[in-house]
Amino acid sequence: MSRSSFEESLMQFVEELKDESEMTEKQRRILQASLKLFAAKGFHASSTAEIAREAGVAEGTIFRHYKSKKDLLLAVVAPVLVKFAAPFILKDVRVIFQEQAKKPLAEVLTELYRNRLELIGANEKHVRILLQEAFFHEEIREAMLSTVYQEVKRLAAKLIEERKEAGELRPLPTEAVFRMVLSSLVGLILFKHVTEPEEYAKRSDEEQIALTVDMLLYGIANR
Amino acid sequence: MSRSSFEESLMQFVEELKDESEMTEKQRRILQASLKLFAAKGFHASSTAEIAREAGVAEGTIFRHYKSKKDLLLAVVAPVLVKFAAPFILKDVRVIFQEQAKKPLAEVLTELYRNRLELIGANEKHVRILLQEAFFHEEIREAMLSTVYQEVKRLAAKLIEERKEAGELRPLPTEAVFRMVLSSLVGLILFKHVTEPEEYAKRSDEEQIALTVDMLLYGIANR
DNA sequence: AGTGAAAGTGAGTAATCACTCACTCATTCG
DNA sequence: CGAATGAGTGAGTGATTACTCACTTTCACT
C-alpha cells in the first residue's frame, strides 16, 4: 500500500510537474501563497479560503488546478524533492567521485557541507514544509527516505569505503562514519537556522564549516 | 510579548500541574487519548470529537477540564518540558559536575548519551509532539530553547572550558565543541528512531554509544 | 469575426470544527 | 437528611471547512 501509494502519488506528480513557464500567473500565485502559509502555519492550519485570499484569486481557481488541498501540498513539496534529489545524485555524484576522488578528504567534506548549506539556505521555506509534513504524511516521509536518503547513503558508503582502504579513514563501521558525517551537517544546519542564528553568525559560513570538518576528522580531544 | 506569553502560559501551567493522582479517571483518559492522537496525526488534524471518542468520554467533559483545545495541548506537553528540564538540570548537574568531575571525559560523555537515549526512548510520543508543535507554537519553541537548551548549554560550556584548561580537549571554540557534542547525540537519536531503526538495531545501544563517543573524541580520520 | 477550449469565478453545500449550556448524577459535609 | 459542589453529559451553536458547479471571461486558432 504505502509503496504503491508513494509511487503513484509522488512519482506521478513529479512526472506531471509543469515547470513555471507553462503555468498561468494565477497558478504561480497560488503556489507562492501556499508556500508562504504552509511554512508559517502548517498544512492543516492553512485554509483554502486563506490561500485564495493571499493569492488574490477566487477559491474555485485553486481547485481548477489542484484536485484537492493535499494535491496542492504535494505540488509545493515535490519540486524540492526533485531539486534535492537531483543535485545530490547528478551533480555531487560527479563532483565527489570524478573530480574530487584525488582531492584530500577535508576538501571533499568542505565542498559537500558548503553545497548543502547553500541549497538549504536558498530553499528554507520548502525545507521547513517538507520536514513539518514528513511528520504526518507517510508518502512524503517515505519519498524523502527512499529517494534522497538511500541514494545519498549508497554514494557516501562507497566513498567512505574507498577512503578507509586508502588508509585515510580509521577502520570504523561504514554506517557509523556516515552517521557522523551527516550528524555534523545536520547540527551545523540546526545551529544556523533554528537554535542560534545570532551565535552562529559571529563566524562566517566558511569558518563554521572549517571548524566542523576539522572536528569531524580529528575529534575534539587532545592527544 | 513572547517573553510574557511564555511565562504566563507555560510557567503558570507548570505551576498548576496536577499530578496524576489527583486527576479523575476520565481526565487521565483524555490526556492519554490526546497523547495518542496528537502524536499520530498532529494537533490540528485531531478533533476534540475524536479525542472524546478515543477517551470514551463526552465531548463536553474535555472542556470541563481544559478551557480550550490549545490548553489541552499544553497539558500534554508541559510535563515533558518539566521532566526533561528537571533531570537535565537537577540530576545531571550533580552527575556531571560533582561525581564525574574526576572521571575521564569518555566516561562522562558515555553516561550522558546513555541517559539521554533512555529518557527519549521512555517518552517517545511526548517528544514527537513536542518537536512537531514546536514548529508552529512559538510558546513551546521558546520554552524549549530558553528553559532546557540554554541551561544545558550553560552547563556544557562550563564543563568544556574546564576540560580545555586541563588539556583534555583541543583549544577549539567552546560553542563549536558544544555543537559537535550535541550533533552527535541528535544524530544517534535520529538514526535510532527515524531513519534506520533496523540498521541501528544491529548493534546494541552500548556499542552505538561507544562508537559515537570514540568518533567524537578522536575523529574519523587516520593519522 | 467566430468558435471551442481552457481559465477563472463566487455563491452554495454538507460536513465538521471548537466550544457552550442546561441539565443529571454522585459524593461529601453540616 | 438536605444542601452544596463538582464531574459528567450530549444536544445544540455559529463559524469554518474543503470542495462543487453553473456560469462568465479570456484567448488562441481558423
Choose among A219, A151, A150: nearest CA to A184.
Answer: A219
Least confident of A147-156, B190-199, B205-214: A147-156
In this complex, the answer to whether residue A27 has its CB under 7 A from any atom of chain C, a nucleic strand, is yes
Arithmetic mean of pLDDT over chain B: 88
Contact B51, B35 (CB under 8 A): no
What separation in angstroms does the CA of A62 have from each of A43, A54, A56, B11, B24? Answer: 15, 12, 11, 42, 47
Task: Kindly state the cell numbers that stand for B31.
Answer: 490526556
Which residues from chain A sit within 8 angstroms of residue B203, using beta carbons?
A: 173
Query: Is the model's pLDDT at B4 over the cut of 50?
Result: no
Residue A4's pLDDT is 33
Find the mean pLDDT for residues B113-136. 91
Query: Is the model's pLDDT at A155 over the cut of 60?
Result: yes
In this complex, the answer to whether residue B25 has its CB under 7 A from any atom of chain D, a nucleic strand, is yes
pLDDT tens digits for A193-219? 989 899 999 999 999 999 999 999 999
Task: Kindly state the cell numbers that stand for B57.
Answer: 468520554
Q: Residue B189 CA to nucleotide D20 C1', Å? A: 46
| Helix, strand or coil, per DSSP, at residue A215 | helix
CA angle A39/A5/B46 to nearest 5° reads: 50
Query: Is the model's pLDDT at B23 over the cut of 60?
Result: yes
pLDDT tens digits for A36-71? 999 999 999 999 999 999 999 999 999 999 999 999
Residue A137's pLDDT is 86
In this complex, the answer to whether residue A180 has its CB under 7 A from any atom of chain C, a nucleic strand, is no
Q: Residue A71 CA to nucleotide C9 C1', Å? A: 21
Which residues from chain A sit within 8 angstroms of residue B45, using beta carbons?
A: 44, 136
Nucleotide nearest to B46 (CA to C1'): C17
Query: Is the model's pLDDT at A7 over the cut of 50?
Result: no
SS3 content of chain A, % helix, strand, coil (to 5): 80, 0, 20
| B221: β partners | A169
Write down the residue that cell numbers 483518559 correspond to.
Answer: B29
Write down the residue that cell numbers 551537517 correspond to.
Answer: A185
Nearest CB to A44 within list B45, B180, B196: B45
pLDDT tens digits for B146-165? 888 988 899 899 999 999 99
Least confident of A64-73, B67-76, B97-106: B97-106
Arithmetic mean of pLDDT over chain A: 87
Residue A25's pLDDT is 86
Cα B208 to Cα B193: distance, rounded to the nearest angstrom: 13
